[in-house]
Amino acid sequence: MNDWVIETRNLKKIYKMGEVEVRALDGVDLQIERGSIVSIMGPSGSGKSTLMNLLGCLDRPTEGDYILDGVQVSQMNDDQLAAARNHLVGFVFQSFNLLARQTALSNVELPLRYGGITKNRKQKAIEALTAVGLGDRITHRPTELSGGQQQRVAIARALINDPAIIMADEPTGNLDSKSGKEIMDLILSLNQTRKTTIIIVTHDPNVAQISQRIIRLSDGKIVGEEVPA
């Protein structure tokens, strides 16, 4: 099996605004090792969100190749991209993105529902919630949970399909420092026990410290890489 879960070659995303071309990504070559934690950092407008959207199969590049878990996704149509996104990628967002009227269990089941999976769906969701320490909160709705617990539900939902990668976009951005540390400890534990590849987009250097690599972007290009002390 290839050691790289992600490979990009000359990845570009170009937006045309009238006569002006905006190079949101401008030739990104990137390899991410299976089972690693990698943080992507950079100032606003550096291309972090664009890169996350491409790596998470939310968008297609203008040019270049993107290979995710051995699958060439660069040229997929919308339906193929949606299927790849559902099966290969789990998402954790700053704002949790939970359905307010649904229980924790129902929220975690969502990717399986979208994928048309019915077998053992409830059991898989319970196992995912148990893995993040919420086995006793499966019938609670988001309003009945703390911010840290809501993010745990979001992480359980991201894990449910056993994805090739988890994309975490500012995962502690809406949490207090204590809850934020608990979430980062959980992410680190899941990486160590499940060997899940995790890509974190963050402005917070403390969050990036759990990574094996920090990749820095500026003006749509990779301008540096470092290993946290």
CB neighbours (10 Å) of residue 72?
11
Query: Which residue blocks in the chain are alpha helix, DSSP H?
Result: 48-55, 78-88, 104-114, 121-131, 147-159, 177-194, 205-208
pLDDT value at residue 2 = 58
In which region does residue 72 sit, left (phi positive, over 0), alpha (psi from -120 to 50) or beta (all else)?
beta
Rounded Cα distance between 145 and 153, Å, is: 9
Nearest to 6, CA basis, from 61, 71, 84: 71
Give the Cα separation of 145 and 134 in Å (integer).
10
Closest to 46 in 3D by CA, of 213, 206, 216, 200: 216
Q: What would the two tokens of residue 203 be?
A: 């402005």
Q: Are 47 and 40 in contact (CB under 8 A)?
A: no
Token pair for 154 = 């979001």
Supply the CATH number for residue 13's domain: 3.40.50.300
Three-state secondary-structure class, residue 202: coil
Tokens for 220, please give them: 């749509």
Taking the complete model, does pTM exceed 0.75, yes or no?
Answer: yes
Please tell me whether residue 67 adopts helix, strand or coil conformation: strand
pLDDT, one tens digit for every residue, the chain (229 residues) = 458 999 999 999 999 988 999 999 999 999 999 999 999 999 999 999 999 999 999 999 999 999 999 999 988 999 999 989 988 999 999 999 999 999 999 999 999 988 888 889 999 999 999 999 999 999 999 999 999 999 999 999 999 999 999 999 999 999 999 999 999 999 999 999 999 999 999 999 999 999 999 999 999 999 999 998 7
Domain count, the chain: 1
Q: Which pLDDT belongs to residue 117?
A: 83
Give me the count of residues in the chain: 229
Domain that holds residue 208: 4-226
| Cα–Cα dist 200/115, whole Å | 25
Measured CA to CA, the distance from residue 113 to residue 138 in angstroms comes to 17
- Extract the tokens encoding 13: 């995303």
- Sequence-separated (6 or more) residues with CB below 8 Å from residue 213: 36, 37, 38, 39, 225, 226, 227
The predicted pLDDT at position 185 comes to 95
User: In this predicted structure, what is the pLDDT of residue 155?
Assistant: 97
